[in-house]
Amino acid sequence: MKKQITRGEFLRLSGLSVAGALVSDVILANDLLTNNLTAKTDTELMKKLILNNDAKVNSLLNKAPIEPTIKLNSFRGIASAINTMTASVCNSESEFYKSKIVAEKLNDAIDVLLKEQYNDGTLDAGGNRQSPPDTAFILEYICQAASILKNNKQKDLEGLTIKLKKFILNAGEAMVTGGVHTPNHRWVICAALANINSLYPDPRYLQRIDEWLSEGIYMNEDGHYAERSGIYSAVIDKALITMARLLNKPKLLEIVNKNLITCFYYTEPNGDLVTVDSKRQDQFMNLKVNNFYLQYRYMAILTENPMFAYMVNTIEKLPEFTTEILSGSLGHFMENRELQKQVPALGTITNDFEKFFAVSSLARIRRGKTSITLFGGNDHPVMIVSGRSSNPNFLMYRKGDALLKYMRLSTSFFRMGYFSSEGVVKEGNKYIFKETKQAEYYQPLAAEFRKPDGNYKLSESPDGRFWNKMDFDSRIRSNVKTQTTVIEITESKGSLSFDFKVDGPPNVEVTIEMCFREGSTISGAVMDDKKNYFLQSGLGLLTAGADTVQFGPGKCEHLNVENLDSEEYMYHQGSLRTAGEHVYITGYTPFRHKMVIS
């Protein structure tokens, strides 16, 4: 069996401050220095894992075989199936233990991977051709299956073991030499190399891991990795845990520990994950915290941190736990037996809080049933591209089932789109958001820059709104217009008070947009023929089940709520508008409006 990091070794070797990362945000119920070596196996969970894994195997056996004439461009499903079937065929409690039918299906599946594997050891993945990082994701499943087979030693599966070894060693060459696209790819490749090395040791694997690790693993003071992404934080945490376990590098778990504490504050009571500040595609997605389950479970067992135990318990109560975790995690528990231990008792945690993440310019506030997210940390200049934060939602507010999905502000100032705060200043219980937009006009070119044929350089306008053959860099700017928006939000016992101020050229349309969860009941506002609501005056009310959110007073000075997204979107006939019940408050500059949400 692979050497596991004990809790005592973790605390001793990592240098993790017991008075810091483990207890700064929680009250621990247990003695932190008590080793968890005597923890019993969670037999009930193991039974559920085996039962659900077998159900998935049964569905795989009934699935039509892969059509040999169809060229595949994604292999994670096949790799996952190999992992799932291996776990059942090698588990003595499974109905498929030593099943010859499953063994045949396994051989067919690995044959597909071997057939599609390039000479350099890689596989394709969608548009990524001969991709080392995507092959590394595949290796997570395949190396785990190989490890389970190695420990099980079934004679009838020796041929499968040989095939897996061939695939893994071929892929290992790509891991030793291959490159990456994104920050998280580095650690996925390192984890793949650690897994390969645990099966078939080779100093080249360790050298390559050290080469990547020498770049340093970025984590800011808020506990975020470079991509600030829920999707990829889960990926990195899992990769670092793999390296820590297999390479005896417990200091890597310090990083995981800090990120998981941050993730706690980013998780809603129903398991929704705050993603508004992500720099990747999930900034516009709805995510659950499910993908952090194995990470929280491992660290809860290792550290006995009740915050982590609480998160394990939270995830296990979600409906997705059965469909997304129990059905596909048996292999993890068989390869890493630490996961089989019972999670320590919950202890006491603080689940009523105000937490400001200054680097991300994001605040999370929990007051009983009320949960609030404030955000003003977009990357400037705002660009719609993976790797940069550009979500215009500066407020999310929920009270039980009543959910304000987002609040935004847009103006018609040169069609530059939504308000995007240049950070957030916190003064007591007040959060101050501010943005300055500037646009200008351009003078004739000086004589030395003129061309008789008018064929000037194609260039971007200084305000970033458009491109043209105007040689903007050589022109004097004039008639400069500036618009300044300030939003002050004060929180008190879950109630929010707003003070909006927009100054600049007069008669610019200002639109405050609130999007409530689809299917909610809105009262107090007037609906137009496009099913938009306008809060003309007084208070509006959102009702969802037994929960309500009150908002207002309203203001309605114009009805133009089209084209709020900016010229960049409008040119492509695109929009950031999402499904939901949309309520608008409108006016003109100089704009002043105060309102409350509670």
For residues 95 and 211, membership in a common domain is answered with: yes
Domain annotation covers residue 139: yes
- 73 CB-side CA count, 13 A: 4
Which of 237, 252, 280 delimits the end of a domain? 280
Q: Do 401 and 410 form a contact (C-beta atoms < 8 A)? A: no
Nearest to 113 by CA among 35, 34, 167, 160: 167
* Reported confidence tier of residue 349, pLDDT bands at 50, 70, 90: confident
Alpha carbon of residue 271 to chain centroid: 13
Domain annotation covers residue 475: no
Question: What CA–CA distances, in Å, run from 164 to 72, 186, 302, 586?
Answer: 19, 23, 31, 63
Domain annotation covers residue 337: no
For residues 275 and 363, membership in a common domain is answered with: no
Domain annotation covers residue 330: no
pLDDT digits (tens, 9 = 90+) for 175-197: 999 999 999 999 999 999 999 99
Check: pTM over 0.85? Answer yes or no: yes
Which of 228, 248, 280 delimits the end of a domain? 280
pLDDT at 35 (0 to 100): 45
For residues 517 and 414, membership in a common domain is answered with: yes
CA angle 390, 351, 33 (to 5 degrees): 110
Domain annotation covers residue 569: yes
167-200 residues labelled b (16+ CB within 10 A) or e (exposed): bbebbbebbbebebeebbbbbbbbbbbbbbbbbe
pLDDT at 8 (0 to 100): 66
For residues 260 and 122, membership in a common domain is answered with: yes
Task: State mean pLDDT over 203-228.
Answer: 96
| Per-residue pLDDT at 504 exceeds 90 | yes
Query: Which token pair is 357?
Result: 């993440």
In sequence order, the 6+-apart residues with CB closer than 8 A to the CB of 160 are 103, 106, 107, 110, 149
Residues written for the chain: 598
pLDDT at 28 (0 to 100): 34
Tokens 């008639």, residue located: 479
User: Dihedral through CA 186, CA 187, CA 192, CA 195, nearest 10?
Assistant: 150
- How far apart CA 287 and CA 285 sit, in angstroms, is 6
pLDDT digits (tens, 9 = 90+) for 35-80: 445 679 999 999 999 999 999 999 999 998 887 777 888 899 999 9
- How far apart CA 332 and CA 337 sit, in angstroms, is 8
81 vs 38, which has greater pLDDT?
Answer: 81
Which of 260, 280, 300 delimits the end of a domain? 280
Domain annotation covers residue 593: yes
Written as one string, the DSSP assignment of 196-244 is HHHHS--HHHHHHHHHHHTT-----TTS--TT--HHHHHHHHHHHHHHH
| Mean pLDDT for the chain overall | 91
pLDDT at 384 (0 to 100): 76
Q: φ, ψ for residue 500 (rounded to 5)?
A: -100, 135
For residues 240 and 367, membership in a common domain is answered with: no
315-325 residues labelled b (16+ CB within 10 A) or e (exposed): bbebeebeebb
Pairing of strands 581-588, 533-534: parallel
Residue 247's domain comprises 51-280
For residues 274 and 366, membership in a common domain is answered with: no
For residues 373 and 239, membership in a common domain is answered with: no
* Reported confidence tier of residue 1, pLDDT bands at 50, 70, 90: very low
CATH number of the domain where residue 95 is located: 1.50.10.100
Domain tally for the chain?
A: 2
For residues 59 and 148, membership in a common domain is answered with: yes
Domain annotation covers residue 476: no
pLDDT at 25 (0 to 100): 40
Domain annotation covers residue 15: no
For residues 424 and 527, membership in a common domain is answered with: yes
In sequence order, the 6+-apart residues with CB closer than 8 A to the CB of 6 are 35, 36, 37
* Reported confidence tier of residue 33, pLDDT bands at 50, 70, 90: very low
- How far apart CA 239 and CA 371 sit, in angstroms, is 31
Alpha carbon of residue 276 to chain centroid: 9
- How far apart CA 554 and CA 349 sit, in angstroms, is 39
* Percent share of the chain, pLDDT over 90: 81
